[in-house]
Structure 1
Amino acid sequence: MQPQVDDIKYPVISIIVPVKNGERTIARCIESIRALSYPRFELIAINDGSTDGTAAILRSFSGDSRISAIETAGIGPSAARNKAIAHARGEYLAFTDGDCIVEPAWLDELLSGFNAVNFQRIGAVGGVQESPDDDTTFGKTTQQFMKAIGFITDYAKDGRNCDIIRATTHNASCNVMYRKEVFDKIGLFHEGMWPGEDVELDLRATMAGYTLLFNPKAVVRHYRPQNMAGFRRMMQRYGYAQAILVKEHGYFRPIQYVPVLTAAACVTSVIMAVNGYAVYLLAGCASILALIHGYFFAGTKRPLQHAMLFINTLIFWHCGFYSTLLNYNETTMRAFGGHQ
């Protein structure tokens, strides 16, 4: 049977949203998906062992035939996504999170990336992350900070200065769409990882010959940690993730060389201090921090707040990285895969 015009122009897209204890944001997430301009999609929400009102909120959308919910018992975001992939009927699989709001043209923009003429074997297209209008001041500051350091992390890209679809090595799992065939060929999300499972998947995809693209017109609005304690936990887990990736795949991202440079700097500092150059050491460290702050954050609206986030990132990211690197084993991996 010949495919219908709608099947070609509007292939079915499966949207997959894992959530745990997301009662604060999940309703807004689902309402934004229901308001998408794209006409042919299904939404699969995975309630992964929530203990708050998330399940009741998901049930309130049961009248929409496009929406289905899967209950899991705290298996972690990666395993939850994999469970949904097994149920998905779309030719394309789009992913976002329960603390995200998607723009009306989100799916249209992601799908348009697969038609980019200058690239071959396109496996995935991702987009930009912005702050919701009603996010806290701390959350918005965190989002700005994530973009400022994005060239190192390749996580929160800034699409304001360029609206051209371009190649990338990684798209965050809160704003990305894959051809379903990618999972058929390279496997599913690494269930022993979170966060970092999307980085690991994208590495396998590129090694298999797929091209990953970034379309800055595909926008989700992502709620960020509401306070410094939440930010520290997030950065510590990011450090965990990079250590696991280094252990399993070696060094392949710029951010993974940061601990090497830090260790070298610490050794140099000890040598200088022992030899009586402590004053020069302090002056040098202060100058380096000032240059980093000036380069990344001086032009932002909240440079002092960004400086505090930067210092906390250095401390807690490295704590997560080194503690995992030095204690890496199967127990670490099992603990690493679950929701926080």
Structure 2
Amino acid sequence: MTVQHGEEGDSRATVLIPTINNPQELRVVLEHLLKDSDGTYDILVIDSSSNSETSDLCLELGVERIADSSRTRADACNNGLSVVETPYTLFTDDDVIPPSGWVKSLIRWFDREHVAGVGGTNFAPEEDPWLSKCTDVAFGARVMTAGTRYGARPDAELVEVTHNPGVNVAYRTEVLREVGGFDEGAIGAEDVLLDSKIVSAGHRLFLDPSCIMPHRRRPAIIPMMRQIRNYGYVRRLAIDREPSLRSPTHRAVQMFPLLAAIAALALTYGAASGGAQWDLWFTLEGEWNLSRASFHFSLGAMSLYFLVCLIGAAMGTSPHRSVSTVFASCITIPAAHLAYGWGMMKAEWGLLRGSLSIVAIDDKERS
């Protein structure tokens, strides 16, 4: 099959939406895209669901759908791409709220011949609960999430980048086919690997900071940590495929769980062995034995870390920054660092043992 075009046959773009057992949130995505459609773009749902609810939804709304048995998002997107006939292909997720004019705001940049792909930013929608907004503030914090593309909003009209998140991005279809699409079987970070191939092939990618996609965040700490753990896991696997994707920040975060454990043990040991006595505070005088050094150095390092969390969150890019969400970053940012680092360490161990999960990672509870 091929994607059917609008009534006038003048479709310029196709929006691909991979989904699995999430018809309620997918309905929001489709209704917004359909309401905004003027016949210049097609919508294609790549459905890997285990029931007929998504199929029924697409039939109800008149949206093109292909049934997909893939176990990974990368393979699902490749299956969708195989039937696209329009010059431009856009990707998004099944839990976003597409703003009016989203498709046009991205594909307008293809009038510039050097633009092979262009993406935008993504933040939590206004209707998300407070805890989701806390997650959004953590994702968009300065310094502490320096290695991510979440919430990046440089002060320019169009900025050249090496990667755009797959939730808000458009490509020239011919470029996608030239590089062979997504890496077959990639269980995550497939958008990072794709962009790496595109850039390596000599093409250029750009970010439009004004193109914002509201993207739902996890509503609690545990689901957020599960999501971020999976991000760390798949990023380490992506680095194994393409070593150039590793940055110093990835090494630092991978070590964070170990460093946090050492600091906590040192603090506990120092406090239990007399290093926390009040007369040893706020002075350099007296003996600096192991107990005192363990307590005060670890406490100082932790205090500095939490201070940077606060400053980074306050100076971040999330539109949901407030006194409460910024102070909550003292919990959300360390939780994210612990989870991401643990995910990377888990993948590292799996690579060493030759035992890795090949199943698509999806941390959401979906029936």
Task: Normalising by structure 1, report the TM-score.
Answer: 0.84
Residue 82 of structure 2 corresponds to residue 86 of structure 1: yes
Residue 40 of structure 2 corresponds to residue 17 of structure 1: no
Work out which of the two has the higher radius of gyration on C-alpha atoms and give 1 or 2.
2
Tell me if the contact between 1:165 and 1:215 (Cα under 8 Å) persists in the aligned partners: yes
SS state at 1:178 partner: strand
SS state at 2:251 partner: helix
Letter in 2 for 1:15: V
Matches of 2:190 and 2:361 in 1, distance apart?
Answer: 11
Matches of 2:137 and 2:261 in 1, distance apart?
Answer: 32
Measured at CA, do residues 25 and 260 of structure 1 come closer, stay the same or move farther in structure 2, by a change above 3 Å? closer
Structure 1 ranges of 4+ moved more than 4 A: 263-275
1:196 counterpart residue number: 189
Letter in 1 for 2:356: T
Q: 2:252 aligns with which of 251, 258, 261?
A: 258
Matches of 1:51 and 1:339 in 2, distance apart?
Answer: 17
Measured at CA, do residues 121 and 61 of structure 1 come closer, stay the same or move farther in structure 2, by a change above 3 Å? same
SS state at 1:316 partner: helix
Superposed displacement of residue 285, structure 1: 1.8
Q: 1:109 aligns with which of 105, 108, 114?
A: 105
Superposed displacement of residue 261, structure 1: 5.7
Matches of 1:22 and 1:260 in 2, distance apart?
Answer: 32
Measured at CA, do residues 317 and 12 of structure 1 come closer, stay the same or move farther in structure 2, by a change above 3 Å? same
Give CA deviations for 1:126-182 in whole Å, capped at 9, x if unaligned.
0121322322222222222212258623321343x7351111111111100011112
Give CA deviations for 1:184-238 in whole Å, capped at 9, x if unaligned.
2111212433431101111111111111100122222111112222101101101
Matches of 1:73 and 1:181 in 2, distance apart?
Answer: 25
Aligned length: 322
Tell me if the contact between 1:146 and 1:156 (Cα under 8 Å) persists in the aligned partners: yes
Matches of 2:205 and 2:158 in 1, distance apart?
Answer: 10
Matches of 2:342 and 2:21 in 1, distance apart?
Answer: 26
Instruction: Map residues 234-273 of structure 1 onto 2, 5 A cutoff.
Output: 234-254=227-247, 255-259=249-253, 262=256, 265=259
Matches of 1:245 and 1:251 in 2, distance apart?
Answer: 10
1:154 counterpart residue number: 148
Q: Is 265-274 or 315-324 further displaced after alignment?
A: 265-274
Identical aligned pairs, as a percentage?
19
1:317 counterpart residue number: 340
Letter in 2 for 1:86: S
Superposed displacement of residue 93, structure 1: 0.4
Superposed displacement of residue 27, structure 1: 0.8
Matches of 1:154 and 1:101 in 2, distance apart?
Answer: 21
Tell me if the contact between 1:247 and 1:325 (Cα under 8 Å) persists in the aligned partners: no
Matches of 1:311 and 1:58 in 2, distance apart?
Answer: 40
Matches of 1:153 and 1:191 in 2, distance apart?
Answer: 25
2:201 counterpart residue number: 208
SS state at 2:139 partner: helix
Q: Is 187-196 or 176-185 further displaced after alignment?
A: 187-196
2:92 counterpart residue number: 96
Matches of 2:244 and 2:303 in 1, distance apart?
Answer: 28
Letter in 2 for 1:35: K
2:68 counterpart residue number: 72
Give CA deviations for 1:276-316 in whole Å, capped at 9, x if unaligned.
23123323322321332232124631123222111211221
Letter in 2 for 1:28: V
Measured at CA, do residues 55 and 332 of structure 1 come closer, stay the same or move farther in structure 2, by a change above 3 Å? same
Measured at CA, do residues 229 and 24 of structure 1 come closer, stay the same or move farther in structure 2, by a change above 3 Å? farther
Measured at CA, do residues 90 and 149 of structure 1 come closer, stay the same or move farther in structure 2, by a change above 3 Å? farther
Tell me if the contact between 2:162 and 2:196 (Cα under 8 Å) persists in the aligned partners: yes
Instruction: Map residues 43-62 of structure 1 onto 2, 5 A cutoff.
Output: 43-51=43-51, 53-62=53-62
1:172 counterpart residue number: 165
Superposed displacement of residue 331, structure 1: 5.2
Alignment gaps of 5+ in structure 1: 1-9
Q: Is 245-254 or 199-208 further displaced after alignment?
A: 245-254
SS state at 2:186 partner: coil
Over the aligned positions, Cα root-mean-square deviation in angstroms equals 2.8
Tell me if the contact between 2:137 and 2:313 (Cα under 8 Å) persists in the aligned partners: no
Q: 1:291 aligns with which of 298, 304, 307?
A: 307
Alignment gaps of 5+ in structure 2: 1-9, 271-288, 316-320
1:326 counterpart residue number: 349
Q: Is 89-98 or 190-199 further displaced after alignment?
A: 190-199
